[in-house]
Amino acid sequence: MEKVYVCGVGATPISEHWEFSLRDLMVEAASRALNDSKLSKKDIEAVYIGNMSSGVLQGQEHLGSLFTTWFGIPGVSAQKCEAACASGGVAFHQAFLAVASGVYDCVLALGVEKMSDANTYDVTSALIMADDQDYVAFTGVSFVGLNALIYRRYMEKFNVKQEDIALFAVHDHKYAVNNPLAQYRKAITIDTVLNSPVVADPIRLLECAPIGDGAAAILLCSEDLVKKIEKDNVIEVVGSAAATDILSLHNRKDLVTLNATKIAVRKALQMANIEIKDVDIVELHDAFTILGVIHLEDLGFAKKGEGWKLVKEGEIEKDGKIPVNMMGGLKARGHPVGATGIYEIIDLVTQLRGEAGKNQVDDAEIGLAQNVGGVGGTVTVNILKRIR
C-alpha cells in the first residue's frame, strides 16, 4: 500500500448561497484546494465527488462529468459517491484508496450539497431517503424524528437530562465564532437551545445541524508528488475505513449504539497502528446533539451512557482531554450533507497545520474525523497525522 498525503484543501463558506449554483460551488472549492496545493489542473488524475441529493433536489445526476466539464479537466476519471450524509467521508475514502493502490498520484476528493433551492418540506422528504423509503419514510417520520427516537431512548435508558445532552450545541457555537467558513458564528446559551421550537419531540431546532449549501475539496497525493511540491507541513492519511450497519433503527437490537462507528474506528486505528488514546483532536458527526454524545461513546472516549459527562465536564474543550469539533462541528460550522465529511477533514487539517488561530489546540499531531450516513447506516473514520 502506498502512503497517502494531503497536499491541498479548500472550501466555500457554508450558507444559503442564493447566488451560487451546485456547479459554481464545486468549482470554487476545487479551485481553492488547487491553489492551496500549488499544483495545477493537469496534475489531477481522478475525482471522487460526495453528494447525497443532487438528483432529487436539483434534478441533476452525473456529477462526475459535470464537474470535469465545468472545472476544465476533461478526460479525467470522475464519479459521484453516495452514502447519505457520509458521502463526503466515503468520497475521501475512495480517493485515499485510489492513491494508496498506487494507480493514481493525485486525486481530488470533493463534497458538495446544494439544499437551499428546495423548500424545507422537500428537503425533509429528501433527507429521509437516507433510510428505507418503503417502510420508514412511508410512516411520515422525518430524519430528525429518527434521531429523536434515539434521543428519547437514550435519556430513559441512562437517566440523562436533555439539558446535559443539548450542551453539545453550545459547545459547537462557541468554536464556530472563530471559523470564517462557519454558517453560524455567534455563541448561544443552553437556555436559547432549550427554548427553541420543537422539531421532532424532544429535539429542539437549535439541537439540529442547519440546512445550507457548501462545497469542500481535498487533494490527496502520493509520496513522490509530495516530495516534488516541497510543502512546509506534511500531513499523512494514516487510517481510512468505512463500514455499514443495519439500515433501520427498528431492525437493530441496540438503539443507542452505532455499530458502524465501532467497526470503522477499529479498522482505521488498526491501519494507522495507533490506539484511540493516541488521537489528539476529533471531528465527529453531531448532526444532532444526541449523536455527538453517542459518537464519543462509540469512538471509545467514554463508556456507553456516559458520553454526555465529557461535554458537561469540559473534557471536549480546546484544552480538555479530547478536543472535539474545534471549528464548530455540524451544528455551527454547518452540514451541507454530502460535503460535511470533507469539511470535517479540512477542519482537522487546519488544526494539524497550526492555522486554527484562537481555536488552535496545542501540539495537535493526530486527528480523527468520523462521518455518518443516515442513522449510522454508513460510518467512515479517517485518521490524519502531521509528519512534520
Partner 1 sequence: MNVFASSVSRVWREQKYKYRLLGGECKGCGTRFYPYRRHCYICGSEDVKIIELPRKGRLITYTIIYSPPSDFHLQQPYIVGIVELDDGTRVLAQVTDIHPEEVKNGLRVEAVFRKYREQGEDGIIEYGIKFRPSLK
Q: Which is nearer to partner 1, 97 or 246 (CB)?
A: 246
Q: 29 near 112, Cβ under 8 Å?
A: yes
User: What is the closest distance, in whole angstroms, from the C-beta atom of residue 77 to partner 1 in the complex?
Assistant: 28
User: What is the closest distance, in whole angstroms, from the C-beta atom of residue 205 to partner 1 in the complex?
Assistant: 9
Q: Which of 132, 190, 144 is nearest to 165 (CA)?
A: 190
Kindly state the cell numbers that stand for 220: 490527496
Q: Which is nearer to partner 1, 127 or 219 (CB)?
A: 127
Q: 46 near 95, Cβ under 8 Å?
A: yes
CA 353 from centre of chain = 19
Span of 201-209, 218-226, 309-317, 334-342 interacting with partner 1 by CB under 8 A: 201-209
* Residues 6 or more apart in contact with residue 206 via CB below 8 angstroms: 166, 169, 188, 192, 193, 196, 331
Residue 387 interacts with partner 1 (CB under 8 A): yes or no:
no
- The Cα 79–Cα 71 span in angstroms is 14
Residue 198 interacts with partner 1 (CB under 8 A): yes or no:
yes
Q: Which is nearer to partner 1, 31 or 248 (CB)?
A: 248
The interface mask with partner 1, positions 88-127, x = CB under 8 A, is --------------------------------xxx-xx--
Q: Is 7 a catalytic residue?
A: no
User: What is the closest distance, in whole angstroms, from the C-beta atom of residue 241 to partner 1 in the complex?
Assistant: 21
- The Cα 336–Cα 330 span in angstroms is 9
Span of 139-147, 158-166, 298-306, 327-335 interacting with partner 1 by CB under 8 A: 139-147
Containing 371, the helix (H) or strand (E) segment is strand 366-373
- The Cα 313–Cα 89 span in angstroms is 29
- The Cα 342–Cα 269 span in angstroms is 19
Residue 136 interacts with partner 1 (CB under 8 A): yes or no:
yes
Q: Is 85 a catalytic residue?
A: yes
Which member of 7, 81, 85, 106 is catalytic? 85
Residue 194 interacts with partner 1 (CB under 8 A): yes or no:
no
Q: How far, CA to CA in Å, does 32 sit from each of 26, 71, 133, 228, 355?
A: 10, 12, 37, 20, 16
User: What is the closest distance, in whole angstroms, from the C-beta atom of residue 201 to partner 1 in the complex?
Assistant: 4
Q: 135 near 158, Cβ under 8 Å?
A: no
Residue 191 interacts with partner 1 (CB under 8 A): yes or no:
no
Q: Which is nearer to partner 1, 76 or 128 (CB)?
A: 128
Residues binding partner 1: number (CB under 8 A): 39
Which member of 93, 171, 285, 335 is catalytic? 335
C-alpha Rg value of the chain to the nearest Å = 19
Angle at 311 between CA 307 and CA 315, to 5 degrees: 100
Residue 248 interacts with partner 1 (CB under 8 A): yes or no:
yes
Helix spans in 101-166 (H): 120-127, 143-158, 162-165
Residues 54-93 that bind partner 1 (CB under 8 A): 56
User: What is the closest distance, in whole angstroms, from the C-beta atom of residue 209 to partner 1 in the complex?
Assistant: 14
Residue 274 interacts with partner 1 (CB under 8 A): yes or no:
no
Residue 156 interacts with partner 1 (CB under 8 A): yes or no:
yes
User: What is the closest distance, in whole angstroms, from the C-beta atom of residue 135 to partner 1 in the complex?
Assistant: 5
Which residue ranges make up the site for partner 1 (CB under 8 A)? 56, 120-122, 124-125, 128, 133-142, 144-145, 148-153, 156, 197-203, 246, 248-251, 255
Active site members: 85, 335
